[in-house]
Amino acid sequence: MPDGIQVLQTGGAYIGDSLSVPTTLYELTDGEAAIETFVCGPNQPVVATGDDDRLIELWSPFAQVVSDAVYAAAFQFDIALEGPGYLTASALPLTAVSHEPHFDDDQFTPTDGVSIVATVSTHGGTRCTTTAIDLPFSPSGAPISVPQALQNDFDSGRHPHVEGEQGRLLVLPQFGQLHSGPNLEDLDPGTLRTLFVFRSRTASTVVAAPRRRHRSA
């Protein structure tokens, strides 16, 4: 049995120029975390799944911008997306934003597509690495995990990484790409970070996809 595996890291790529990400007023959520999920499709209006009309009205127009941009870029570069896409919009107090490195999808089978995730926010950008990482061996279909030493090195900046620009839509592989939220300084406890995250499977021959574990960037 192998002692470990190496996962190549591509980093991310920008889609388009800087965007005006809508801010979420602290008073709108009473300072609490809030989230809304939209169902997306190519050349289709996004459809909210929740019932908070105030957040849906605020976030829907920009969710549409993100959805359209991702599908257009996928079409341009011949990336076949499968099934509906899902976009989560969330608001979180700056002091609660996590910068723990993680995989958006930690399970993979050889015939599965890696899928994609795209993020953009009002404060900071997604941090990711382009340097291959060594991980403990994981059988096909089992989740991969980030060793504590690698987490510490990534979080402290010792492991090479780049940080996406604030307001830029960044797309990256959903499986196996190590990334995290930003290290935010001068945190204002009365400010919310608004984050939009689009996810979609890439087309594959898999009949039943493995269960995916999602986390926010």
pLDDT at 206 over 50: no
Q: What pLDDT band is residue 41 in, cutting at 50, 70 and 90?
A: very high
Q: Where are the beta strands (DSSP E) in the chain?
A: 4-7, 13-15, 34-40, 47-48, 81-93, 102-103, 116-121, 127-128, 133-136, 162-163, 169-173, 178-180, 192-202
**42: its two tokens:** 């190519």
The per-residue DSSP string of 22-84 comes to PP--GGGTTT--EEEEEEE-TTS--EE-S--HHHHHHHHHHHHHHHHHHHHHHHHTT--EEEE
Q: Could you report the per-residue pLDDT of 183-203, keeping only the tens digit for each? A: 887 778 889 999 999 999 988
Determine if the pTM surpasses 0.95: no
Encode pLDDT of 146-190 as tens digits. 889 998 998 888 888 889 999 999 999 988 899 998 888 777 888
The two beta strands, 192-202 and 133-136, are unpaired
Please give the domain boundaries of the chain with CATH numbers for all domains.
4-202 (2.60.120)
Phi, psi of 196 (to 5 degrees): -115, 130
Task: Report the C-alpha gap between 124 and 16 in whole angstroms.
Answer: 17
Burial class, 159, CB count within 10 angstroms (exposed 0-12 / middle 13-18 / buried 19+): middle
